[in-house]
Structure 1
Amino acid sequence: MTFQAQGSQDYLPMGDPPPSRTGASRRMYVWVGGVLAAMVVAAVVCAVYATVANGEGKQSPPAASASKKPSPAYTGPPYGAAVGLDDELRSGDCLEATWPKFQGLPQLKPAHCEDDWVDGQVVSLLPGKSLDQARAHAEATCQKKHVKLTESLPDTRIYALVPSKEGWQATQRTACIIFTKSDHGIAGPVGQFRGVGDELFFGNMGVGDCIRLEEDKEGEDKGAVVPYLQDCSEEHENEVVGFVSLKGPDYDKAADASYDQCVDAYDVELARSGLEMGSYTSEGAFDSGFTWGVCVVSDPDGEQLPAGHVEEFEDAMPSGNAQSSNGREV
């Protein structure tokens, strides 16, 4: 991972992970990879049976008029065997996915949002009146509901996971899940599921995020610069203003060009604000298909930025309008 600041050709290392995830620490995965995780939800099935007391000397009612016991609720995989989840998803659950070329149904399994490198996260659940209605409209509804979130991230898609026919009887809710379009994965929680002080990654750092940078002084990525989420309602160190699509035949040339791309993309806003532009890139992320550079502004004198978003860049912020552009791709 490299960071290039205005007026400088020097790069600060941003720790990339090893090729294999097996046995590696979370920090080793900074800025690359793609795996997912979700939390398992316990399901409790209760059946209540009523008994009819018969008075002394009275005969029991004929079998034909006896109350029927309710059928037990469906307890199989709510989204079908092919998806692989044993329990209904909850909002905020993180997921690990096997989904070749994003064709057909994804194979999903739960993982921990904080400790695992994840491919996607459940961002909401949509109740539905019928399974047919969910199958016909859930995808578009999920996309419309979360357009502001997807606009703020450079490489994401929304997927509607509808229960199977049997699972619908028990859940009657569709899971709206955010994934990346590449094999990189979102890495960690997105949007409202993050907290101030959380470590950020390429996949879950979005336009409008306020961040501080700290050098990792120990561990396997010693010397790497790590971003952490700050509260934009307070003074902050840096602000993410956009993304640029990296150009070039290889990573080194693409990384070299990323700073100029960020400056060119936001030249008017940059001139008006008097701020300093910086760009983030990662070779590991680039190799996994995440071919974006992150554009970040800061005070040229090293002072904190004032509370709130930088006024000159507000037009670049996600609007929530599906027809709008936040200026990410240049």
Structure 2
Amino acid sequence: MISRSQVVQTARSIAAIQGEDGGVPWPEGHVDAWNHIECLMAMSVAGLGAEVRKGYEWLEHHQRTDGSWASKILDGRAVEANGESNHAAYIAVGVWHELLVTKDEAFAGRMWPVVKKALDYVVGLQTPRGEIVWERDAVGRASDYALLTGSSSIHQGLRCGVLLADHLGDPQPHWELAADRLAHVIMAHPEAFADKSRFSMDWYYPVLGGAVRGPDAFELLHREWATFVVPGLGIRCVSDQPWVTGAETCELVLALDALGDRAQAERLFDDMQHLRHDDGSYWTGWQFANRKHFPHERSGYTAAAVVLAADALSGLTPAAGIFRAAAAPSVIPADPEACGCTPARA
């Protein structure tokens, strides 16, 4: 494990790359809403309140009228104008997380219209079967396919949105219905999603996002454990390359913690600490055949995943259990015959 002071140091490494406009960029320089929000959550764990609120102002400023964000924003301009559904959904996770950490009701009330527009954009992309397609393109056309990792993250966003809506006294039952139907298709219909099975995220994200829990989740993780986990180093980003990545390893840590498997979670978290830099930042990954960092960069999103995993394992904030709480209700059937519902909202 890393200490509280090391957690703060890592969060400050994220603040160090935050732009003057509040955006937290990828190493390449662009900002996307999902990774940006994850970085804000990590800085909130460390108490960097001013930086976090500046980041939420960035989100308010760049949200479009349909509730989405451009998928890549560089120097304040959209360089890829499609709107990804999982990017939009993650604002609910971020705002709920910030409310849990700070108890700031005024902040939650101010951000509520942003969350509401974003999640309505998301459920507008749900198919009759229940999956949520991954984007609208630059002219507003919905994609014809869904991604398992993205839909799993959306599931968590919808669950957090329902909790936030109920807390603020503005229930959104169509979000809950959308989340239930999405959880069903994630559990029972792998054919609903494009095949990205070489990526480790497609392996563990159904657990991380809460759609699959209990014995089914343990069985799912056991099935590909040997494919992706490299003892002593972390987990592979993709199954066919000798490359472990810190963000994916820490997300698996969060998934294992959500299942109550603390021993495995702590072991994996310790294994990936070889990626820590002296300034508290983290290398994105390690190519263990060539024994080189790959890519040769330290990324804010990797540091953010480390901080969130440390919070889950050590209980540093009242939001430490936010990934545990994403679980779908146990009443959802895994029966394939239950599909074919009309969309939650037209």
Q: With the length of structure 2 as denominator, give the TM-score of the two structures.
A: 0.25
Between Structure 1 and Structure 2, which shows a larger proportion of strand residues?
Answer: 1
TM-score (norm 1): 0.25
> By percentage of residues, which structure has more helix?
2
